[in-house]
Amino acid sequence: MKTYIQQRQQKLRESQTNFYTPSGIHIYIKEPVNQTVVSRALNMLEQRVPIHILSEVEMIMFGWFAEFDERGLQAYFDGGTIFVSNLFDDEIELFETLIHETAHAVEKTYGYEIYGDDKIKQEFIRKRQYLHDILWKEGYKMPISVFLDTEYDQEFDEMLYQKIGYGKLDGYAAGIFITSYGATSLREYFATAFDDYFINPNHSFLKKISPAVYEKINLVLSEEELDI
Ligand SMILES: [Zn+2]
């Protein structure tokens, strides 16, 4: 039989590794984290993101998952859960990662409202065409058809990430994409804009270069206009 002290210790451990945030997100810490970093990042998330948006995230699980090594990730969203690395030691980086995965939760739930009228797709394709022309001039010659495909494509991603490199790409994509990662796919185009909306309080640049996405983010944030 467990002693009173052992029971208290077990309860304390559980309260630190398996709990709910004030807005109702289930937090499960599977592998050890920096508690301060995690609690600060969760506070920022809950302070900045409206509750109806956060309700798309049922659980945040901290650990190191096989997909991270397989796909070179630190986080992903699947079936209502954000799986995120337990190794963050910077609360801002962790907060930004959680915002990004929240964006994927949102675009799954509000897929029709966000993508249904193709406005974001048209905006994205125009930017991809522009990027194609810039890269072509710089000697990275890939057929335009590759740039017109809005889904994630491994070959395209490898060209951006390995052949060109995000450092250089940032220069080519400046003023077209909010970050060069937004060029990866239509979904990442939405998610990187969503990140910027919550990370950067000044929305003027985002509104200027990505007006269609900006409009959709405002739409999903104004819950009363949605009939879901
Ligand atoms: Zn993403």
Asked if residues 185 and 153 have their Cβ atoms less than 8 Å apart, the reply is yes
Poorest-confidence range of 8-12, 64-68, 175-179? 8-12
Strand-pairing partners, residue 1, are none
* Tokens at 66, concatenated: 């096989």
- pLDDT tens digits, 12-66: 777 789 999 999 999 999 999 999 999 999 999 999 999 999 999 999 999 999 9
Query: Distance from the CA of 7 to the center of ligand 1, in angstroms?
Result: 41
pLDDT confidence of residue 226: 58
pLDDT confidence of residue 139: 92
Query: Distance from the CA of 9 to the center of ligand 1, in angstroms?
Result: 38
Query: Distance from the CA of 131 to the center of ligand 1, in angstroms?
Result: 20
Task: Please give the share of the chain, as a percent, with pLDDT higher than 70.
Answer: 96
Query: Distance from the CA of 172 to the center of ligand 1, in angstroms?
Result: 20
- Pick the closest to residue 91 from 156, 45, 41, 148 (CA basis): 41
- Structural domain spans, the chain: 2-111, 117-226
HEC string of 161-172 equals: HHHHCHHHHHHH
Query: Distance from the CA of 184 to the center of ligand 1, in angstroms?
Result: 9
CA separation for the pair 136, 132 (Å, rounded): 6
- pLDDT tens digits, 116-149: 999 999 999 999 999 999 999 999 988 899 899 9
| Sign of the C-alpha dihedral computed for residues 13, 19, 22 and 25 taken in this order | positive
Residue 216: exposure state from Cβ atoms within 10 A (0-12, 13-18, ≥19): buried
Query: Distance from the CA of 194 to the center of ligand 1, in angstroms?
Result: 10
